[in-house]
Amino acid sequence: MFKGFRDFILRGNVVDLAVAVVIGAAFAQVVDGFIAAFIDPVIAILLGGAGEDLASIVFGSFPIGLFLSALVSFLLKALVIYFFIVRPFTNLAARYAPKAEPTDDVKLLTEIRDLQRQQVAALQRGARE
């Protein structure tokens, strides 16, 4: 029972996931701090509540300030994750991925294409003569 647990914990994916969760939580705090310090005051000014807390800015009974702050926070986090994590690792994986050998079907279709090109070229030569 403990051997299976040990194998599970020592598997590379679990360690990578644990690191990602910790880094993600720390990154979330940085983005939330940026939002609170810079974006929230801009949203408050745009909504006509300069100097007010976003929680107090409401549109009818809907706290629009909190919603906009959460939306901007989500978009910034998604933007950074996509451009600084997803795209670079996708490009890196594509660069170092092993080249797949063509299947028999692909090889056969390539031969047929080449034969057709040869036949068309022969017909064109015969028509010119």
Q: What amino acid occupies position 116?
A: Q
CATH architecture, domain defined by 2-97: Orthogonal Bundle (1.10)
Q: Which residues contact 44 (CB under 8 A, 6 or more apart)?
A: 50, 51, 52, 53, 54, 57, 65
Q: Is the pLDDT of residue 9 over 90?
A: no
Q: Structural domain boundaries of the chain?
A: 2-97, 100-129
CA dist list (Å): 107 to 11, 49, 116, 117 = 39, 68, 14, 15
Do the Cβ atoms of 64 and 56 come closer than 8 Å? no
**Tell me: the pLDDT tens digits for 84-97?**
877 888 888 788 77
**Tell me: the pLDDT tens digits for 13-57?**
766 777 788 888 888 888 888 877 887 777 777 777 655 566 666
95: three-class secondary structure by DSSP? helix
